[in-house]
Amino acid sequence: MRINPLIGKTLTAIYLSDDNESLKFEFTEGEPLIVGTEGDCCSYTWIENIENPEAVIGSPVLVAEGIPMPDATEPSTKIEYHDSIAFYGFKISTLKGTCTIDYRNNSNGYYGGSLVWPGDYGFDYSSGKVKGNWVKVA
């Protein structure tokens, strides 16, 4: 299992693309890291919410891992059409606190989605896959 590229780095900012499909992490040192969403065949994946992002700014990342998410009780604020929604989570923890990224996938019920990190499946999101503009969340 590969170590997540956030581990040990100190975040200075987190951005969400205005199409809700990508995240950009900036650090005290080094190049920004861009993470995309990917839906399996015939599905769509997006970032629904980022909870408590300010808690991970300015302190080294200790934990960065996928977590189970309960089904949401509220409908999505990002898309109107819902066939079958799968709920996913990603946790980033520092000594200051924890940030949770809530991302979702809409499909016919047979497909899923994921966050795609540099090197996953041969994708490199730093090469400009982002279609929208960046909006700072922390």
**Position 3 in a domain:** no
What CA–CA distance (Å, rounded) separates 34 from 85? Answer: 24
**Position 6 in a domain:** no
Q: How many domains does the chain have?
A: 1
**Position 64 in a domain:** yes
Q: Which residues contact 122 (CB under 8 A, 6 or more apart)?
A: none
**Position 135 in a domain:** no
**Position 94 in a domain:** yes
**Position 115 in a domain:** yes
Q: How confident is the model over 29-65, as pLDDT tens digits?
A: 999 999 999 888 888 899 999 999 999 999 999 999 9
| pLDDT band per the 50, 70, 90 thresholds, residue 78 | low
What CA–CA distance (Å, rounded) separates 116 from 133? Answer: 19
Res. 73: pLDDT tops 60: yes
Range of the domain at 15: 11-71+80-123
Residue that wins the pLDDT comparison between 107 and 88:
88
**Position 107 in a domain:** yes
Three-state DSSP at 122 gives helix
**Position 19 in a domain:** yes
What is the arithmetic mean of pLDDT over 97-109? Answer: 92
